[in-house]
Each structure stands twice: as C-alpha cells, then as structure tokens.
Structure 1
C-alpha cells in the first residue's frame, strides 16, 4: 500500500515537471463563427462539380464559382430556403439534355425525345423564372444570352480611391472608395442583377451584377439598394447609394471577378 502511494506521488511530480517545462503555450481552439468574405477571397472554382464544405451557403458557393445562386439551386433541385449540407455534391453547370427512348406498346418501335426539350420546365419559384424576358429590345433568358466581351467599363463612383487591390493572402480583393452617405453608386458595366441582400458576412448590403459568362462585379456596404434581382441594368445606371452597412465607416467596396477569381478592377476601369 505504501509503495502504491509513493508511485502515485512520483507520477504526479513527473506530470507537474512536464507542464512547467513547456516552452510554448497550450493550444487554444478558436470557435468557428461562420464564413466571411475573407474565407472566399481565393474564389476561383472552375470545376462543374462542387462538394459543400462546413460553413458554405448557396450564396458563398455562387460567389466562389461566379454563378447565379438561382441557377445552382435550379440545377440541383434545391428550393427555398436553400438548405445545403457538408459533403453534398452540387453541379454548377446546366445538366446536358439526355435523349431517352420510349417504347411503343403497339408497334414495339422506339422514338427519341426532342433534343431541344427543356430539362427543367420553368416554375414560378423564389429563385426566379427562367422564361425569356424582353428589356429595351434585349432578349435575356439564360446565361448564353450574355455577351462574350464587355464593351466598356465605367467607374462605379466619382469618389476617390481609399485602398487598392492586393493579391496577398489577406489582402483587399477589390477597391475601397472614400465615401459620403448617400453618394450614388453606378453599375460599372451593363448586365443582370443576380444578387441583392446581406447574406454574405462582411459585405453588408451587397449587389452582384453579372456582365458575361465570365465576369461579375460586386458593390458592398450600400445604404440603399435601388435595383432588384433579375433586373437588367445599363452601364452607368444608379443602382445604390453609399453607406456603412457591414462596415465601421461609409465607403464602397467594389470587386470584379473573372470566372470566380478576384482580379484587380484597375485593369479594366478607364484611366481618370
């Protein structure tokens, strides 16, 4: 019994000595608080398939891939409120039209379905109607209606640049403009509004405009939003007013993305 007691004391002394000899602090686990825009700063995802990770939302995935979140929802038969789960396999491209053979009970012959048959018939859902609409003489029904090239880029505001683009790991993935509350924010190029809202943490009230199959632009920290999702806008059209939503100061955070990858807007904006 005495020997067992001495052994226990010896083990305790060894453990205390080991703890006092630690040269580095004990590891601290950081609590996960959900993804912010800095978690998708490297958003370049050109694959047709995406595997959902912890913290992903349909909005962050659309921002990563450069796709409209409604299209992703429709391709994967996801309905509002757009719940997804880690490990889920999502297709980011429109599924190809499959040719099916149907047996004829009377003749035994088979017939091919029409190759131009719509895969997913349009339904009135919260993520938009896929029927073609005509806006000022421009027919727009799908991503294939977007131009291959952007004819012109314009500055989204007349305000001066506060901080520029940085390609470093934690750098600014766009341009920040000095702000004054209520200053007009303009569409940098013609396109279609594919998102308005505040679901992406760190952006505040956000507008995303799709200009082509490859290019998106984003306008963050707005005070008021003057356009609606699925609305077509022209270059230079007033789409919002400047504010400080999701920020500690009034400013405009402006991004340009090419195939989901953040690029320096100054490469496209005209010289002042």
Structure 2
C-alpha cells in the first residue's frame, strides 16, 4: 500500500497579498493627493472687478492756484468777511469770483480768488445820491433800529462833524483825504499785531462819520471781534472800517459822502463804548493816524 505524501512547503497563493498591497498603495496615493500643504495664506486675485484701492486723495477747489498772486488758501477759523477785508475787497465780489453758493461754507485748504479775474481793475467807488429813500437800518444781529437818511448829507462843519482837513500829501491816483470819524480822543493806538486800527473814545450814541467818500461793502455783525461793523470802500486801494457801533445807519452798496453820519457809537462785542477805526491799504492795515489830519 502506497503512502501519500503531503507536502507542507507548497507555495501559497500570492494573489490575496498583492491585492492588499495594491489596495493600500491606492489609499496612500489617494490620501497624498487629497492632502494640502499650507505654508501661508494663498494669494487671492479678485477677477470680478471688486478691487480694493487706497482712499482717493481729496483735491480742494482751486488747489491748482495755491500760492499764486491774487489767491488765498483758507485756514482754520477764516470767514469770507475777514478774507475779503484782509484782501481789500467786497465780500460779495469774492463770493461771485469763486462761485460760492454759501459764503459760510468754506473748507480748510480751499483756494479762493481774492483779486478780480480780469486784468482790468474794477471801477473806483463813485459817491452818488442814495438810490431811493430808506426807512430801516441794516438787519443785523444786535443792531438798534434807527431811521436812515433819505440822501447822504454834505460834509458838515458842526461840532459833531470834524471839518475835512487834508491828510499828509502822498503820491498816487488812489490816494484819499480822510477826516476823523469821531471827535473823541484816541485811547488805544495802532499796533499791527494786536490792534489793527485805533480806538476812539466817546459816549453811547455819538455820531460815527464816513472818513471819506465811498461805498458800503459791508454792514452787519458777522465778523467776530468787531461787533456791529461798517466797511467802506473808497477806491481800489483804500478801505475803512468802523466797529463796535450800537446802530448802523447805512446799507450795503449804498454810496456815502465824507462826513455823513453812518452809525452811532456803542460797545458791541467789546468792554467799553468806543469806535474802533481801521484804514486798510490794499488790504493791509496801516496806522490811521498817518492818514488823518492833526488835531
């Protein structure tokens, strides 16, 4: 009887092993493909048109004229009235030259034209008879109503009206002969840094007179520190200012004559009754005493 011999060293089938290895390899490859290495934020490019840009630079009106002659750059605290006064101009002209719809809406850095846009100078103020009778004074905060004169009177030589005495002679077609705007004594002299005119003492209600023929370019209380104020333009060179009045007796654009009563002395926006009187030459304050007759 023959014996069967069972071999125990028969090679096993390798198919299941290789199938497992292959499956593991597929998993590893798949895992490797699905893994993202992050070394930092990936750049993102928005191709939809929504691009973030730095804030736009705001260009103030008239910036291209900054620093040029005849232009002024607005600073903090400026008002159109003060800019016009310092430039020797009517504030309404400055408003028109710059197309300002609201004269109170100035912005720091804004550049304003403060000289006429044309090379031809504006016509000097020519005194004339008032255009029609007036029945009420300038509507201005704190101004006491007084009836206006129907026509500007001629210069008077009464005690309340100083006689027109020639001022020191000087050259120039635009030079003006001024008279004293009030009869009191000077209590505060001119100081360009602290007092841009002279202060003349007086009593409440004393007459304030036009120092020369001219036209009213401002009458109101909108200029801080001046109270109820009148500004006269005499020609393209000279302005005069009359401040701290209790009543204003003329209106803007009204022609006045030398010696005409234009206001009543008061203490608006100051600590005592007085007239603050300024002479401005091309907008620059000058010592009025040099232009007034010697008392």
Q: TM-score higher than 0.5 here? A: yes
Query: What is the match of residue 227 of structure 1?
Result: 250
1:135 aligns with 2:109: no
SS at match of 2:232: strand
Q: Is the Cα contact below 8 Å between 1:148 and 1:212 reproduced in 2? A: no
Q: Is the Cα contact below 8 Å between 1:191 and 1:209 reproduced in 2? A: yes
Distance 1:81 1:52 in 2: 13
SS at match of 1:185: strand
Distance 1:150 1:179 in 2: 28
Distance 1:160 1:133 in 2: 31
Higher strand fraction: Structure 1 or Structure 2?
1
Moved over 6 A (4+): none
SS at match of 2:200: strand
Which stretches in structure 1 are left out of the alignment for 5+ residues?
1-44, 98-115, 117-129, 138-146
Distance 1:87 1:241 in 2: 38
Distance 1:249 1:86 in 2: 34
Aligned length: 186
Distance 2:294 2:68 in 1: 30
How far the C-alpha of 1:182 sits from its partner, in A, is 0.3
Change (3 A) 1:259 1:133: closer
SS at match of 2:85: helix
* Aligned mate of 1:244, from 255, 258, 267: 267
Query: What is the match of residue 162 of structure 1?
Result: 187
Distance 2:244 2:179 in 1: 19
* Aligned mate of 2:84, from 55, 62, 76: 62
Query: What is the match of residue 184 of structure 1?
Result: 207
Q: Is the Cα contact below 8 Å between 2:127 and 2:255 reproduced in 1? A: no
Q: Is the Cα contact below 8 Å between 2:126 and 2:255 reproduced in 1? A: no
Q: Is the Cα contact below 8 Å between 2:129 and 2:255 reproduced in 1? A: no
Change (3 A) 1:249 1:134: closer
SS at match of 1:256: strand
Q: Is the Cα contact below 8 Å between 1:46 and 1:259 reproduced in 2? A: no
1:201 aligns with 2:194: no
1:258 aligns with 2:251: no
Distance 2:218 2:256 in 1: 13
Which stretches in structure 2 are left out of the alignment for 5+ residues?
1-66, 131-171
- The superposition leaves residues 86-107 of structure 1 with CA deviations (integer Å, 9 ceiling, x where unpaired) of 111111122239xxxxxxxxxx
Over the aligned positions, Cα root-mean-square deviation in angstroms equals 2.8
Give the TM-score taking structure 1 as reference length.
0.63
Distance 1:46 1:204 in 2: 33
